[in-house]
């Protein structure tokens, strides 16, 4: 007997509010890691990741640069694994983000960086992974086993774990995240009808563009990936600023645009972008706590929260949208064609 398509992804999306509560209750564990980072006083932060974890790392880059006022960059793993580059990483913090902790290139980058003087931190969902064995410090995101190939709960718990880590480094006590579980449940329950409408609206579309600014750029990138891997759509993501620097020329009446717009400076900066996009005839679906404040044909709201936490909430209806579109188009998002749960690259 075949299993019901999408049953794992459906269940794992629904688990997230409880997982968020559990993670916040473990904030003291993450704060202990943060204390060791503070003692080392890094001058620069590097982030290494692949796939969905790369989008979580992009989110962390914004957190680090805005909340910690430290420069941060995303690692090109191949400079180490293929080209053998060995830069001096004294006083550098390397955070490697990997749900499985098993990708050989990320393990090699972390091991190499530690030899070259970096303080290395693994953020994973697998506490006995090869990555954890080579990193000096580790943070367990605590999502539990994820059966669907498309990452949902491991992605969002990674976001929250990264927020809690950065917040603790700046001296915070996770105050802004205390009610994140309840807000997540409200985001899922309150967006159900609008997501169902979006599924019907876009079930036959072949081209989707996702866009956001600031913290929400990571959500746009993750939404595009989820749509591509579960519904096989030609989905691309751009920051709102980059969109106006050229790609907007390809936007027309056949383009569906997912605009991630949460309250704050990033959401404010999206207003002008969406006016331009709408003027070119695109069908805009705005997602986020500021979705009611921008030009859009369809809006999917989520509860208000501090801007730096908004990606934890705004990704939830976007995951549901990817799930719904995959099912409506006759696919099984639990097992997309040609994909494995752990992708090993070098």
Tens of pLDDT along the chain (346 residues) come to: 357 999 999 999 999 999 999 999 999 999 999 999 999 999 999 999 999 999 999 999 999 999 999 999 999 999 999 999 999 999 999 999 999 999 999 999 999 999 999 999 999 999 999 999 999 999 999 999 999 999 999 999 999 999 999 999 999 999 999 999 999 999 999 999 999 999 999 999 888 999 999 999 999 999 999 999 999 888 999 998 888 887 887 787 778 899 999 999 999 999 998 888 888 888 899 999 999 999 899 999 999 999 999 999 999 999 999 999 999 999 999 987 655 555 556 5
In this prediction, residue 31 carries a pLDDT of 98
In this prediction, residue 1 carries a pLDDT of 37
Quick check: helix, strand or coil at residue 236?
strand
In this prediction, residue 340 carries a pLDDT of 54
In this prediction, residue 246 carries a pLDDT of 75
Each residue of 145-184: b (16+ CB within 10 Å) or e?
Answer: ebebbbbbbbbbbbbbbbbbbbbbbeebebeebeebbebb
Supply 119's token pair.
Answer: 């303080």
Supply 340's token pair.
Answer: 């494995």
Task: Enumerate the β-bridge partners of residue 236.
Answer: 209
In this prediction, residue 342 carries a pLDDT of 55
In this prediction, residue 339 carries a pLDDT of 54
Q: Rounded to whole angstroms, how far apart are CA atoms 80 and 74?
A: 13
Give me the DSSP letters along 58-78.
Answer: HHHHHHHHHHS---EEE--TH
């Amino acid at each position: 007997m075949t299993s019901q398509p999408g049953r794992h992804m459906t269940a794992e999306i629904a688990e997230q509010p409880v997982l968020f509560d559990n993670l916040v209750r473990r904030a003291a564990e993450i704060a202990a890691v943060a204390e060791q980072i503070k003692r080392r006083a890094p001058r620069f932060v590097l982030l290494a990741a692949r796939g969905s974890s790369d989008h979580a790392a992009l989110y962390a880059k914004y957190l680090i640069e805005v909340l910690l006022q430290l420069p941060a960059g995303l690692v090109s793993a191949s400079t180490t694994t293929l080209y053998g580059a060995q830069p001096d990483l004294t006083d550098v913090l390397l955070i490697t983000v990997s749900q499985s902790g098993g990708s050989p290139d990320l393990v090699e980058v972390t091991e190499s960086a530690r030899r070259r003087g970096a303080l290395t931190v693994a953020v994973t969902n697998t506490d006995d992974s090869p990555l954890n064995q080579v990193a000096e410090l580790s943070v367990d995101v605590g999502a539990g086993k994820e059966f669907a190939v498309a990452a949902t709960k491991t992605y969002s718990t990674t976001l929250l774990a990264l927020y809690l880590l950065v917040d603790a480094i700046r001296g915070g006590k996770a105050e802004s995240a205390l009610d994140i579980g309840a807000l997540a449940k409200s985001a899922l329950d309150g967006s159900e009808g609008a997501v169902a409408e979006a599924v019907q609206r876009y079930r036959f579309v072949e081209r989707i563009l996702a866009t956001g600014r600031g913290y929400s750029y990571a959500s746009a990138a993750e939404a595009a990936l989820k749509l591509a891997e579960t519904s096989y759509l030609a989905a691309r993501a751009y920051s709102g600023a980059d969109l106006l620097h050229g790609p907007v020329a390809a936007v027309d009446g056949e383009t569906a645009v997912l605009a991630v717009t949460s309250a704050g400076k990033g959401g404010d900066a999206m207003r002008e972008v969406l006016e331009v996009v709408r003027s070119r005839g695109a069908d805009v679906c705005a997602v986020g706590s500021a979705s009611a404040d921008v030009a859009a044909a369809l809006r999917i709201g989520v509860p208000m929260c501090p801007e730096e936490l908004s990606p934890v909430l705004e990704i939830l209806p976007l995951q549901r949208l990817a799930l719904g579109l995959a099912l409506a188009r006759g696919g099984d998002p639990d097992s997309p064609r040609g994909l494995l749960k752990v992708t090993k690259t070098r």
